Amino acid sequence: MNNWKTIAANLVQLELPLARLDAKQQQQLASLRPLPAFAVAKLREALALEWTYNSNAIEGNTLTLPETRAVIEDGITIGGKSLREHLEAINHHEAIELVTEMAVPGAQLTERMVLDLHALVQQKIEKEWAGRYRTMGVRIAGAPFTPPDPLKVPELMQELLTWLYNPAPALHPLLLAAAFHHRFVWIHPFMDGNGRTVRLAGNLLLMAQGYPPAIVLKQDRRKYYNALNEADAGNMYPLCLLLLQACERSIDIYLSNLRGNAGDYKPIGNLVEEETLPYGEEYISLLARRGKIDAYKEGKTWYTTKEAIEAYRAGRKRMR
């Protein structure tokens, strides 16, 4: 791993959104403890369902969110959908259960964990390759690089997993997860299932540090692949920002449900119509996309609060 300097440079651009993320995780969420066990269990299951749907959809699975829920929760077969798509939903949900079990506070990701996650992702689909590194060369359509020779994969994975716990300098958990994410995709250690596996393993890193999973949405598929391509060119900022916003969205879901304040967040367009604000809809949307204000995305719509916009404006005044 030799890109830690590039990653660390992102600390300057991401300082404010990272601070906001940590404040929500370490202060706002902590203030609600002890968290009601039943409510937390329901939220985790809802996020697990979203995680499965979106991660599979990014890879081309055509099951909708309601269909994914029916397959997982009710064991229903969806007409017109392939057996593989059904198995992908079931497999991924089981892999999330394993992530949850393994992500105890301070847990360190090991090679065995990665292989076990991949084995679950590919079980009953490609048994020959499930939980095993590739032994053949591969090419990734649209990627600006060719993954390394298969003979180098075990060594590169060991190097990556060792680097995780000896980075120089020490990185914020979110940036560390982003660095891991990019390097894993570059190594492309498996014949298939790399994307699902890295999103599982990367979230294990976050969850072991007390953060909720960063769920990359299906709607952000193109942005996600573009961010990975930018990282290949040495620009880690888009990938770091995308994962940060995905993680913050999950925290917002927890806070909104546990505090009952989901109504405070509104679509930016609605907020502009209802409130007297210092900025227009386009500018506020730009601030949301760049992580400058407290906001989260549902589908193609960004949600924020009047307080978040006022906090940004106040911060700008202090800087003058």
d(CA 51, CA 45): 10
Token pair of 293 as six digits: 């204000």
Sheet containing 266-267, strands listed edge to edge, beginning at the edge strand earlier in sequence: 266-267, 301-304, 295-298
Count H helices and E strands in the chain, helices first.
14, 3
Token pair of 170 as six digits: 């020490």
Other Cβ atoms within 10 Å of 40 Cβ, number: 14
Partner residues linked to 267 by β-bridges: 303
- Residues taking part in catalysis: 188
Q: Do 215 and 250 contact (CB within 8 A), yes or no?
A: yes
By residue count, the chain amounts to 320
Q: Do 195 and 58 contact (CB within 8 A), yes or no?
A: yes
147 SS3 class: coil
Partner residues linked to 266 by β-bridges: 304
Token pair of 3 as six digits: 């890109």
Other Cβ atoms within 10 Å of 141 Cβ, number: 4
* Sign of the torsion angle spanned by Cα atoms 216, 220, 225, 227: negative
Task: Give 37-43 contacts, CB < 8 A, sequence gap 24+.
Answer: 39/257, 39/258, 43/253, 43/254, 43/257, 43/258
